[in-house]
Amino acid sequence: MSSPVNPSAPTGIVLNIQRYCSHDGPGIRTNVFLKGCSLRCKWCGNPESIAPKPELSYDSKKCTGKEECGVCLKPPFPEGAFFVPDGADDDKVKVNWHLAADCDEKLASLCPTGALEMFGKRMTVDEVLDEVEKDSSFYRNTGGGMTLSGGECLLQPDFSAALLEGAHKRGFNTAIETACNVPWRFVEKVLPHVDTMLHDHKMTIPERHKKWVGVDNKRILENFKKAYETFPDVDFIARTPLIPGINADEEHIRAVLAFIRPHKNVIDYELLPYHRFGLGKYELLGEVYELDDYKTPSDDLVKHLQAIIDEAFGRTPAATTGEATQPA
């Protein structure tokens, strides 16, 4: 049964709720992905999470064309937002993304084939937690719970804090995935309700960080250090999205270790090998993927860098718990 709605409770923009996750905190978890990100990582596998509001996607493979359908070519859709080019090989619709930007869920729902869909919707705290609670038996049996991810969950600090506090009240373990490129007051609002913070050390050199991520890492590193020191009871797990030719090298791994090892509540450092699973999402959003020529790291490279981490944490490679999921 759904919980009664509290009209004063914050609401937020949720991208997706993914169940039965096992790599983003202890035990079996439900990951809640929030919309909005303050970084522009060129390798991003979740481009649909970047914009802070719901946004339209278009799958041309599902479009049946002007002759058979043509719904989006007529009111109430914005004039010129959808069109069929003169001389095209087929009569499938194309999108003027600038004119289509204001299309909402109501308009997208008019598409009979599902070619038009929305990424993200506004939800209440109780709506999210009622969904998370469906797997409460798994959490009890495995020590699992709810993980907030994104995008950047800290860009919705009131909503994130309310979700995490509510999860604790329902007896769930809590975790967040964050890059911490936000004002400190956002971090300070959310972390009192967090058991585990998974955080991305994407690059250590500020100039390289700005080149590949869009901003330098000064505020990020300041927030990490302050979080370690301010919240000693939180378990912190550092992570690096490992991309050959960008940061998949000993220099970066050793620099991260030098930063985190003085802090005893940073309990692990995970490598997230780059993959290209999110490539198709760029086409759905009418965007271009910039790292088309980059490859996944070799198993030998990952094992070599993981051995450096294992040595720093005083464990053998056989004791490593395994790989984690790709970050946003």
pLDDT at 292 over 90: no
CA 289 and chain centroid, separation = 17
How confident is residue 277, by pLDDT bands cut at 50, 70 and 90?
A: confident
Name residues whose C-beta falls within 8 Å of residue 240's C-beta, 6 or more positions apart in sequence. 200, 201, 202, 247, 252, 253, 256, 269, 270, 271, 272
Q: CB of 10 within 8 A of CB of 129?
A: no
Segment 209-225 shows an average pLDDT of: 97
Exposure on the CB side of residue 15, measured as CA atoms within 13 A: 26
Residue among 254, 247, 224, 54 at smallest CA distance from 154: 224
Proportion of the chain in helix, strand, coil states, percent, rounded to 5: 35, 20, 45
**Ranges of each domain in the chain:** 11-52+121-319, 59-119
pLDDT for the residue 322: 46
Residue among 34, 48, 9 at smallest CA distance from 277: 48
Q: CB of 37 within 8 A of CB of 150?
A: yes
pLDDT at 6 over 80: no
Segment 119-133 shows an average pLDDT of: 97
Segment 8-32 shows an average pLDDT of: 93
Exposure on the CB side of residue 127, measured as CA atoms within 13 A: 15
Tokens describing residue 302? 């990952």
Q: Which residue has the higher pLDDT, 238 or 140?
A: 238
pLDDT at 318 over 80: no
Q: Which residue has the higher pLDDT, 12 or 292?
A: 12
pLDDT for the residue 323: 46
Q: What is the CATH number of domain 11-52+121-319?
A: 3.20.20.70
Residue among 251, 237, 238, 241 at smallest CA distance from 297: 241
How confident is residue 293, by pLDDT bands cut at 50, 70 and 90?
A: confident
The amino acid occupying position 291 is L
- Alpha-helical (H) ranges within 170-278 are 184-190, 206-213, 218-230, 250-260
